[in-house]
Copies of this chain bind each other. A is one copy, B any other.
Amino acid sequence: MQLLDQMKSRECTRTGDVMTAIRLKISSRALASGDRLPSIRSFAATMGVSPSTVVEAYDRLAAEGLIRARRGSGFYVANTGLPPMALTEVGPRRDQAVDPFWVSRQSLDADPAVIKPGCGWLPAEWMPQTALRRALRTLSRDENAVLADYGSTRGSPILRRLLLGRFADEGIEASLEQVLLTSSGTQAIDLICRFLLRPGDAVLVDDPCYFNFQALLRAHQVKIVGVPYTPSGPDMKAFEAALIAERPRLYITNSALHNPTGATISPQTAHRLLSAAAAHDLTIVEDDIFADFEPEPSPRLTVLDGLNRVIRIGSFSKTLSASIRCGYIAARADWIEGLADLQVATNFGGPSPAATELIANVLGGGSYRKHMDELRQRLARARHETAARLESLGIQPWLMPRGGFYLWCRLPDGHDSALLARIAVEENIVLAPGNVFSVSQTAAQFLRFNVAQLGDPRILAVLQRAMASHPAN
């Protein structure tokens, strides 16, 4: 393989030389905005390289936005009025409201220098990079149709079949007609809401719950009803009272490892919940996105119910890649038929066939299993280390989760997490304050920490300083 590496690096160096030469021409004003670049043939002669090397270099510079191809007349220096290499943009405004969008906006659009102990994903280095890169190389040799065509309305049968296999392991019997692939896990819930809800309907969520459930339900103009979440699932007395008082159409919850608390529903609560749902004709969306982080499977509403009134959704963003986006819905076949039509109307079909090919390749392989084994061990260590470090500041985990990367923590009495979050963001640290998760706004004393994103010592230093500057009253 040495020969190959040498050849590759020589090829890269030549392309790089051509790119550097052009960059210099532009930065030295030898070429100004709007100027035509030397023709490929003539510049290849000038540089003593092949025309294909110049083509490659121009292509890359164009992809960077520094130059631009114009139809039929060659390449020109870009003239959009922006400084040529300023490809990053102004980050999110820091004075935005601490609402259900707060964490998404601050963490998704943050400058790379910002530290994000409040975000909802693992560091890129913790993801199965080797398998992803191998899958991309495999995809680069795949059939034309996979690279260019729309794909079927329900998405890759290969990936759906892999999901059926995983469902079968859990004890869920389902057919291919009961699975629909979507653009993302969030879009899966969005489609279900469009399919089942009308403005003004009541929808139950856990209090606290994943903040984006609230953002999504607001977009559907429904009444959001929070039910207090306990260490063994929703508070069933409050749940049953809400069923009677609000007659909700839907309940949306996380199974396996609850977001943000990391709690797990107990078998008794799961059974009682499904009985109550049947008595009141309630449909349930079980978001299974954290399932692979469990050391062993916990009670599942979908398993007890058998895809009758429970709809299972999930995605691969937390364990495989958030960049290669794909979600899924498993439900009654007649609902899937309606949901597939709705996805054609609103997105002209499901996720990218190229994306589902990549996911099936990684997910179906033995290396994914090994990756998840290692990841669970790594996260278990990180949970315990983080808990110990937070406790040294008087910040206490509400419970110690069985798996996953969240710790839902209580601040010492008198501290307000929204205030801490506002102070921290000024120091380039994004926290997840409790009330962005709480319908009743009763979680002001809580913060959700991502134990995989807490490596930087500045985080605890800033927390300590912020708590000291606004002491408990």
Give residues in A with beta carbon < 8 Å to B. Answer: 1, 3-4, 7, 40, 55, 58-60, 62-65, 68-72, 75, 78-80, 82, 87-89, 101, 104-105, 108-109, 112, 121-122, 124-125, 127, 129, 132-134, 136-137, 139-141, 143-154, 157-158, 161-162, 164-165, 168-169, 176-177, 183-187, 190, 194, 199, 212, 215-216, 218-219, 317, 321-325, 341-342, 344-349, 351-355, 360-361, 363-369, 372-373
Contact = CB atoms under 8 A, between A and B. Distances in A.
B219 A194 contact: yes
Given A65-B161, A101-B341, A144-B124, A349 B212 contact: no
Contacts of A168: 79-80
Contacts of A157: 87-89
Contacts of A71: 369, 372-373
A213 to B, nearest CB: 10
Q: Specify which of A68, A109, A150, A353 lies most central, judged by the most chain B CB atoms within 10 Å of its CB.
A: A150
Nearest to A141: B133
B63 A186 contact: no
B150 A105 contact: no
B152 A212 contact: no
Given A101-B344, A366-B75, A147 B124 contact: yes
Contact of A187 (B59, B218, B346): B346
A108 B346 contact: no
Given A132-B147, A344-B215, A364 B63 contact: yes
Contacts of A317: 150
Mostly, the A contact residues are helix
Contacts of A58: 365-366
Contact of A65 (B88, B158, B194): B158
Contacts of A352: 323-325, 352, 355
A366 B59 contact: yes
Contacts of A63: 158, 162, 360-361, 363-365
B108 A184 contact: no
A366 B190 contact: no
Contacts of A212: 344-345, 348
Nearest to A194: B219
Given A345-B219, A365-B69, A145 B161 contact: no
B366 A148 contact: no
Contact of A344 (B104, B121, B177, B372): B104
A6 to B, nearest CB: 11
Copies in the assembly, this chain: 2
B108 A151 contact: yes
A87 B347 CA distance: 24
Contacts of A353: 323
Given A69-B365, A364-B63, A366-B55, A124 B145 contact: yes
Given A69-B365, A161-B82, A355-B355, A147 B89 contact: no
Contacts of A342: 219
Contact of A164 (B80, B133, B134, B185): B80
5 contacts: A59-B364, A64-B364, A82-B164, A127-B148, A199-B199
Nearest to A69: B369
B150 A121 contact: yes
A105 B344 contact: yes
B152 A109 contact: yes
Top 10 nearest A-B pairs (CB, nearest first) are: A59-B365, A63-B364, A62-B364, A124-B144, A136-B140, A215-B345, A127-B148, A124-B148, A186-B348, A65-B161
A183 B351 CA distance: 9
Contacts of A143: 124
Contacts of A137: 136-137, 140
A89 B127 contact: no
Given A129-B148, A354-B323, A360-B63, A187 B104 contact: no
B108 A68 contact: no
Nearest to A12: B141
Contacts of A365: 55, 58-60, 62-63, 69
A165 to B, nearest CB: 5
A347 B148 contact: no
B80 A321 contact: no
A391 to B, nearest CB: 30
